[in-house]
Amino acid sequence: MRRRESVPTASFAGWRGNNMLVVHILWTLLALNLLVLAHEGGHYLAARKAGIKIYEFSIGFGPRLFGWRKNDIDYSVRALFLGGFVRMAGVEETIEGGKDDEQLADDDPSNFKNKSLWARVAVLFAGPFSNYVVAFILFAVAYAFFGVPYDIVDEQAKVGYVIAKSPAYQSGLAVGDKIVAIDGQPIENWDAMTAIIRQNPEKKLTLTISRNGQNLSIDIIPRQAFGQTEPYGEIGVQREISLKRLGFVDSIKTAGRQVWYLNVATVRVLTGKEKADFMGPVGLVSEVGQATQKGAGWFLQIIAAVSGSLAFFNLILIPLPLLDGGWIMILIIEKILRREFSQNQKAIAQMIGLAAVLVLFVVVTWGDISGLLQRYF
């Protein structure tokens, strides 16, 4: 997922305590599994609409925890909350998991293989599409009920939020402080302040701040920004903002633009037009943790961004077997070649896709961990 700059709204103060890391992980798992539910639900509904035989709808992998059976479909929850799958007839390695061990006849009309190309593509496309819909809805709700954050017209470098345990927090910076100079150099606006801080990671700076009509001096050492491979200082503050609730129509328009922006921004990174700034599971827990502390509106926006990124990742970013976009690509190639790939060929392609996803997971996770090590050690 690509990082986004966002601003909190309502507070989750009741969740604060000594075990916040555990709470943050639980919030992250809950959010991700709701997104998985939406994704697999898209596959499920499209398959039902197409008349494809469904054996099982599962959230999670591994040992079965509990479930029920209805209309000859097994609904289950499994021990590893790291995904899910829809097991349907005619799919060798069903969408995101499971095996078709209850074979239907090759000519059975409810077999996935016997459906038209466009029906099969629709079933595969429905998962990512559902995540796009969820992203759109969450953004719209956040903008309508909690408001869109925007910078105050006053361009002074006024602190609007201080991140816990950051250099700013440890040095005593407070909400409402105006940074008027750094090492004696006058600061006219927020951008001028951040430019100096970014250029001086791990170097002591003296901030002159205005607080309640009095000027104070504070020494601070910017830390290396999380996830940045080049020198990039930060002190853990956000500028003063205001919130503006949008009407129904504007919320819809803004949500649509934001979902589109997620895709455009990712493409710009891939084409080298924008600096890469991705996060893995460790970074996601950190972002969700900050969101639950800083506001319900921000929390909704973070989860919306994750949902939109999952859709793009599955459908377009990496068109490899194992992911929906990869299977769609295989179906189209088969149509062009007018022949079906063998199960062995598909299995090899799927293993390549799995290896690629695992490598990406390791690389991004290592980036998260190395960022934490740079920050705290």
Question: Which sequence positions are flagged as catalytic?
Answer: 40
For residues 315 and 326, the answer to whether their CB atoms sit within 8 Å is no
HEC string for the chain: CECCCCCCCCCCHHHCCCCHHHHHHHHHHHHHHHHHHHHHHHHHHHHHHHCCCEEEEEEEEEEEEEEEEECCEEEEEEEEEEEEEEEECCCCCCCCCCCCCCCCCCCCCCCHHHCCHHHHHHHHHHHHHHHHHHHHHHHHHHHHHCCEEEECCCCCCEEEEECCCCHHHHHCCCCCCEEEEECCEECCCHHHHHHHHHCCCCCCEEEEEEECCEEEEEEECCEECCCCCCCCEECCEEECEEEECCCHHHHHHHHHHHHHHHHHHHHHHHCCCCCCCECCHHHHHHHHHHHHHHCHHHHHHHHHHHHHHHHHHHHHHCCCCCCHHHHHHHHHHHHHHCCCCCHHHHHHHHHHHHHHHHHHHHHHHHHHHHHHHHHHC
The CA–CA distances, whole Å, from 1 to 162, 228, 295, 312 equal: 24, 15, 20, 9
- How far apart are alpha carbons 46 and 349 in whole angstroms? 25
Q: Which residues pair with 367 in a beta bridge?
A: none
Please return the burial class of 249, using the count of CB atoms within 10 Å of its CB with bins 0-12, 13-18 and 19+.
exposed
- How far apart are alpha carbons 39 and 36 in whole angstroms? 5
Q: What length is written for the chain? A: 377
